[in-house]
Structure 1
Amino acid sequence: MAFRRCYNFLRRAISGSNRDAYTFRQLTRNNKEEVEKLIEDVYTEFEPVSSCLGHNSDDVGVLKSECLKDALHNTIGIGAYSRDGNQLVAAILGQLVDSLLSSERISKFTDERGEYVLLGGLSCRLDHRNKGLASQLLNRIESTTRRKGYKAILYVTASCYVHRMAAKHEYGEITSIRCDEYVDPFTGKRIFANMRKPHNTISVFAKHL
């Protein structure tokens, strides 16, 4: 019992110091360059942009920039910054969208207006991982979603680590595909074949708030 109390005390102390080490800000199009740099440094190593979009390497830079510009439009994305506020160390991107998906498995999670928040692109620099940042970002996204009157979140992710975090936060898995097995019905190609572990299964999770 004494060991357990000591362990819980140290865990709370460390967790508290980690929370104090970061500041959180909402992301907009004005943050595009720093978000793009973060994703480039820690995300595209496992999910090459060209892997699923059929573009050659010369097009990838422009493509990523345009995709990110769209992602930061109508966003409730949140970034975690170092204590001095000079470096973006982690981010999660969320968009307020109309329901474009007609699947019954998905529509039952959206609100009566057919709208939801679509999450993706969770990125965290290596030296800031295992400090609870991902959970803090997800909690803040959920709070913002509630304040804006939305009642559902859909979370698309390919990382097995994020899968576990989603389950921990009571997200239910709607559907998933294995990257090494999926064949695009239009091209007949395995378009996700060069995605790397732990990004080997693309899943859609949902949570009704």
Structure 2
Amino acid sequence: MPTTPLKAVTLTHVRYQRGDQLGHFLAWISLVPVFISLGGFISHFIFRRELQGICFALGLIISQFVNELIKTSVQQARPETCALLETCDSHGWPSSHAQYMSFFAIYFTLMTCKGIGLFDVKNKWVVNFWPWSMAVLTMYSRVYLGYHTIAQVFAGAALGIFLGALWFWVVNSVLIVFFPAIEESAFGRMFYIKDTSHIPNVLKFEYDNARAARKDLAAKSN
């Protein structure tokens, strides 16, 4: 009975040289986009329901669709190491990992600089250091592990920065005027969708309100 060749799921199928500790570390680093998507944004939607976070995630999804469209159109091959990595059947330009992380880093940075977030940040460069460091490490991992050329990684990074900055402008200059209507809509009320981008320190705001509600409940019970 004839059998068809098996194909791995490339989302988590990351290979590195056996015994290469740096390669092992970078293989995990290259999975950061997966951790951000599954652990970060899904958890954010479940527990926060913030319109800014939802738009952030939507922008990343749109960015990846744009990446796939460009890859399909250009059809630039991956480096020769693709044979060992079993990735020669996919295209390499631009790097989707580099594009994802650059989009995430620039959007996160712009949110921080504008004061949109859970807390008020005084030393913004300290907060923005970690997304950019993760972006650079992810880009380096894709070249080191042989999945992309340097040119493919830089192309992905440039596209990610452009799309991230553009989407941030669209969200906070065009879409934001619809946020109050979304909050008041049947969908917004059903799923507790909210916008707190106008609150400087959301954590402190929620903390103060939680304490006030507890004191009010205690006063009523007495």
TM-score, structure 2 as length reference:
0.30
The structure whose residues are more often helix, as a share, is 2
More strand by share: 1
Bigger radius of gyration among the two: 2
Higher relative contact order (CA 8 A, sep 6+): 2
